[in-house]
Structure 1
Amino acid sequence: MRDMHDACHIAIPARDLDEAVDYYVFGIGAKMARRYDDRVTFDFFGDQLVCHLSEDIPDEAVMYPRHFGVSFARAEDFDRLLRLVEHRKLKVLAGPALRFEGTAEQHRTIALVDPSNNVLEFKNYDDPRLQF
């Protein structure tokens, strides 16, 4: 039912909206769409990410059970993100790594941490049909 003009909506807590803008716009390259006193909305690789000002921030970054990100269909897009992470010295929780090596589900992955301890995972499957 979703077509290419639809966007998935993701909402996460943020302790400081200026930090969120710095990280998402100037860190990983998202585009700011709107900003209000209590939230900021980004175009996050074609989907809608909203950082809501909150005091309920995790004490530490933990991958499971909650994280979000992008499964890139093209290896060059994943490689471009890796270069950006290295160049901008973004905080890495895990990786880059190769998971499920030697299986049909083999993929590269990296987990990042934003300033509010939200975990972002980016992937690239050898077979892009397996990203779902």
Structure 2
Amino acid sequence: MSLSPFHLAIPVYDLNAARHFYGHVFGLPEGRSSDHWVDFDFYGHQLVIHEHPKTPGQQDAHTNAVDGHNVPVPHFGIVLEWDQWESLGERLKAHDIEFVIEPYVRFKGEVGEQGTMFLFDPCGNALEFKAFKDMSQLFAK
């Protein structure tokens, strides 16, 4: 499967904290930037953090129940290879990141079984990182 890179621009009310989080904690390579925005190579996709006043969604996260956990909505993230997902979880733990949902296997033994973890960036944007041992399960019903 060949994918085109996506472009996602998100609001951050503390550009320096968000730049440190995505660049240092995640280790994402930085691209172009200005005094008000920064591009990152988000696993081959373009993630841009834009300085913006705090939004209601960043202040008061809504959640929906999924597999017995409260999943923050909205959220974004990426599907990684299993080894990458495990390594990222360890990297985030080493940086003492507080998880909304600790890394675990969701839908264990069911269609769509996947590793997942949820966290917030320093500006309240919710992120999910997931992986499938069997990538054919990505869109399975």
The alignment's TM-score, normalised by the length of structure 1, stands at 0.88
Counterpart in the other structure of 2:130: 123
Q: CA deviation at 1:35?
A: 1.2
Counterpart in the other structure of 1:52: 50
Higher relative contact order (CA 8 A, sep 6+): 1
Query: Structure 1, unaligned stretches of length 5 or more?
Result: none
Counterpart in the other structure of 1:93: 100
CA distance in 2, matches of 1:60, 1:81: 26
1:70 equivalent to 2:78? Answer: yes
Contact residue 113 and residue 137 of structure 2 kept, 8 A: no
Aligned residues with identical type, % of pairs = 31
Counterpart in the other structure of 1:81: 88
The alignment's TM-score, normalised by the length of structure 2, stands at 0.83
Counterpart in the other structure of 1:20: 18
Contact residue 12 and residue 52 of structure 1 kept, 8 A: yes
Count, aligned residues: 129
User: Quick one: which amino acid aligns to residue 131 of structure 1?
Assistant: L
User: Quick one: which amino acid aligns to residue 59 of structure 1?
Assistant: Q
What RMSD over aligned residues (CA atoms) do the two structures have, in Å?
1.8
Query: Structure 2, unaligned stretches of length 5 or more?
Result: 63-70
User: Quick one: which amino acid aligns to residue 73 of structure 2?
Assistant: P
Please give the secondary structure, in 2, of the residue aligned with 1:55: coil
